[in-house]
Every structure is written in C-alpha cells, then in structure tokens.
Structure 1
Amino acid sequence: MISLHDPAGRPGLLASVASLAELNRAYAVGADILDLKDPSAGALGAWAPQALTEAVKRWRMWPHPRPLLSATIGDHPLDPAILCAATARTAATGVPLVKIGFSRTGEDAAALPACLDALAPLARETRLIAVLFADEGPATDLVPLVAGAGFHGVMLDTARKDGRRLTDHLNVSALTTFVAAARLHGLLTGLAGSLRLTDIPVLAPLRPDYLGFRGALCTGSRTGALDPAALAAVRRDVAEVARSRENA
C-alpha cells in the first residue's frame, strides 16, 4: 500500500485540478496527489479521455520523486456495466489511481455489492479508490466490502457541494472510526469534502493518508481557478500541524 505519511506523521495533500494548466501549478507548489477532476461537472466530474492521456504523459516526464496522480470516472449511477466501462476507460489512459464514487441513496444502496463484485477484476489490474459520501451517513460498514473487492483505497467526500463541510455531516468520533477501519484493512485512506484551513488541525491528527482540497484552493467557488498561493497556504498549515504534534 502507498503511504503518504512523512516521519512526522503529516498526511499527504490531495489537490483537485481542473485543467492541464492547473496540473502544472499544483505540481510546482508540491501537492502529494494531483487529482484530475472537473468540478463543473459534479462532485466527481471526469476529465475528457484525451486530456487525461496528456496529463499522464506530462506526469511520466516529471523526475522522481513525483506526486501521485489520480482521476475520477465521473458521476454515475450504481450500475455494474456503467461503472465498469467508465473505470476501464479511465484506467486505459494510464492514470495510476482511479476514483469511483458510490452513492448509497435510494435504490443505489442495494446495488453496491454487485458493483463491487463487478469491479473486482479491474481492481486486480488498477489501483481503485472507492469514494463514499459523508452526507449520506456513516460509511464504516462499507469498508470491509471495499477491501474485499480488492480496492487500493477508500475516502470520504461530500456529494452535495452546498457549502457544508465533511465535519458538518460526521463528527470527529465517526471520522476516527472510519479512518481506523480503513487502515485496519490496509487501505489508502483519505478525507475530503469542502475542507478549509480550519479543518486541518481537526482532521490531520486522525492520521488519514491524505486530506483532499478543491474549493479552499480556488479563487471564489470550487469551480474557480486554482490559486497557487492558496494551495501553498494549505500545504503550510498541514506541515505546521505535523510539526506541532512532533514538538508536543
């Protein structure tokens, strides 16, 4: 399993980027995971395949050590055939981490096991990350299912981008339980969902492998342009939390 922790226990920083230009900016600032996502197309809006292919090409040209690269497959219903096709299409571009959202609302909840079973063969070939949504309730019970399907990681995010943050939906106790369960099953573990600077000292001590940001990195809303200064501020605060814990 990939671990993004440094010796001081700092979680990695995932920065969602909406274009090739933003990819370069986030790389220059030093994000640990560059997440290819189109925020104008939903919670997990996908890049076009041609742009994904170009991003992977650029990523492969960067010297080691280089950040990880992830990409979302888009917002889709929990239909095994649809999810498998979108996952295979994204994986074919060569992106090393493929993120798949699993909504648990309405009839979708019953379809989740079948979707995980259908994706298991792809999980043996590509590092798949399951994205679960905190605004749909606690998700710890789904962690064993994700691990059993051979996924590489799991993360919590928010499906509805309405200004409410991850911690507005789940308290620290619930998030601690989620992270502990994911780590117990050997899964790369992330927390995201409209996070702000004030969330870093609350969430970093829970020891997720990474914290994910988009809106806090942008001018205006999450669909605005990525601001390198804002990204640098987030990276600084994550590092400062690690230093304060080390010196405590």
Structure 2
Amino acid sequence: MSETPPGLLASVADLHEMELARAGGADIVDLKQPAFGALGAWSTEALTAAVMLWNAWGTQMPAHARPALSATAGDQPMVPALMRAAAERVATTGVPIVKLGLFASEHAGECVEALAPLAARTRLIGVMFADEGPDFGLIGTLGRAGFAGVMIDTADKKSGSLTEHLDPLTLSQFVSEARRHGLITGLAGSLRIDDIPGLIGVGADYLGFRGALCAGGRSGTLDPLRLGQVSARLRAPSDLPRP
C-alpha cells in the first residue's frame, strides 16, 4: 500500500481548461472530449495546439512542476487495425501519453498486441471499464505488449460511479496485479470528492476526475474552486492510510 496520496488526473475539454488544470495543480492534464463518449477524442488540430501549449509550459516552469499530458483516442471498436490507427493519430501530434479504451470484447487481447510496436515509442495506457465486467487477465497482456499503464473507468456514465461497481478489495487486487507487470495505475469513473478517502488506501498512482471538477457535471465547464477542493482532499494528511 502506498504511503503517498495518488496524483490528480484532470480531464479537460479545451485549451482554457488546460490552463485551469495546470494552475490548479493537476499532475496529469488529460485531453478528453466528454461530449463524444467515455473516452471522446479531441480533433487532430486541437491536439496539435494542446501539445504546443504544453511545450510552452516547459519553458515557463521547472520540469518537475509541469504536469504530464495525456489524451484519449476515442471510443473505438475492438478491431486491431482501427485501434492502431486511432492511437497513431493521437501519438503523431506529439501527445506523450495515449489512452485507449479496452471495451468488453473477445478481440481485446488482439488489439493490445497490435499496439505493441507503438508502445515501444509512445507511452500507452489501457483503460478497462468497471461496468463491463473487466477481465484482469488482460493486465498481463498489456505488460507484455509494453504498455506504460492501465486504468479502470466506467463506460456508461449513467451507470453509477466506479465505487458502485467495484469494491476497494477488488480495486486493490487490480493495482497489485498491474504493479506485478510493471504498470502504473489509475482509477476513474464519475468519482466524487467523497470517494477520495476510501480510494486512497487502494494504492493507485492516480485518481481521475471530470464531473467532480465541473459546474454542471462532466459536460459542463471546469471550475477552479471544485478543482482546488479535489486537489486539497487528495493531499489532506488525514486521508493518508495509517501504518
């Protein structure tokens, strides 16, 4: 179990929200368009502009203070060639971390294996879905394919939060299995600020938020006050697991 709180992944829908997330202390600024699904993707042009902005941050602040940058590749069908093409499109813009949804399918393993060549030069994160009966057996496949990490999210945002689908023990098993294969871990899925204390003890590297950071839910606008509240709760000493 980790003795440090997880990092904050903040999903943003535009360049203005990118700036708000950076100013609010996000550890990962995640480019995701909530209007287009669970892992809705930004356009190529918007991704290119985001990478330019992120690179500019690198000249304005110390390297350790600049948040990491990730982007989703969209809600793709589990067809290896389509998954590879979607991931390549995002990676070509210069985004250093690309997130790919692993929806329930007998072909999920083939999709992961098809992404191994890209994983050798770009950090890939596989995203499993708590409301689709995630197959933890895929974690080993991700590790062998050279993925950098794995997350659990929810596919249907109306189906309830992550904590309504998987209990802390199951999530801890997920984190342990991912660590065994050298993968970083993240938990997301309509998380609320009140979910944080119960999830910190799971030991994931990151917790991901969108709706809890926005006025009007995940399709609303990122609110710096809400972002500050989530960030403070994540880092509150009282929420750290007891020895």
TM-score bracket for the superposition, by shorter chain length = over 0.9
- Work out whether 1:28 is the aligned partner of 2:23: yes
Alpha-carbon shift at residue 207 of structure 1 (Å): 1.1
Alignment check: 8 A CA contact 2:172 2:202 kept:
yes
Secondary structure of 1:140 counterpart? coil
- Work out whether 1:123 is the aligned partner of 2:133: no
Alignment check: 8 A CA contact 1:214 1:222 kept:
yes
Within 1, Cα distance between the matches of 2:164 and 2:134? 12
Secondary structure of 1:110 counterpart? coil
Q: Which residue of 1 aligns with 2:33?
A: 38
Alpha-carbon shift at residue 244 of structure 1 (Å): 4.4
RMSD: 1.4
Q: Which residue of 1 aligns with 2:136?
A: 140
Letter matched to residue 42 of structure 2:
W
Alpha-carbon shift at residue 139 of structure 1 (Å): 3.2
Q: Which residue of 1 aligns with 2:98?
A: 98
Letter matched to residue 94 of structure 2:
G
Unaligned runs of 5+ in 1: none
Q: How many residues align?
A: 237
Q: Which residue of 2 aligns with 1:68?
A: 68
Q: Which residue of 2 aligns with 1:217?
A: 213
Secondary structure of 1:233 counterpart? helix
Alignment check: 8 A CA contact 2:40 2:72 kept:
yes
Within 2, Cα distance between the matches of 1:246 and 1:180? 16
Alignment check: 8 A CA contact 1:46 1:71 kept:
yes
Q: Which residue of 2 aligns with 1:238?
A: 234
- Work out whether 1:191 is the aligned partner of 2:210: no
Within 1, Cα distance between the matches of 2:124 and 2:10? 18
Within 1, Cα distance between the matches of 2:239 and 2:11? 26
- Find the partner of 2:48 among 25, 33, 53: 53
TM-score by length of 2: 0.94
Letter matched to residue 165 of structure 1:
S
Alpha-carbon shift at residue 176 of structure 1 (Å): 0.9
Q: Deviations over 1:160-197 (max 9, x none)?
A: 01050001111111111001111111101000000001
- Work out whether 1:19 is the aligned partner of 2:29: no
Within 1, Cα distance between the matches of 2:239 and 2:113? 43
Unaligned runs of 5+ in 2: none
Within 2, Cα distance between the matches of 1:152 and 1:247? 29
- Find the partner of 2:196 among 189, 193, 200: 200
TM-score by length of 1: 0.92
Letter matched to residue 122 of structure 2:
T
How has the CA–CA distance of structure 1 residues 165 and 246 changed in structure 2, closer, same or farther, with 3 Å as cutoff?
A: closer
- Work out whether 1:176 is the aligned partner of 2:154: no
Secondary structure of 1:161 counterpart? coil
Alpha-carbon shift at residue 9 of structure 1 (Å): 0.6
- Find the partner of 1:161 among 157, 170, 190: 157
Alpha-carbon shift at residue 223 of structure 1 (Å): 0.3
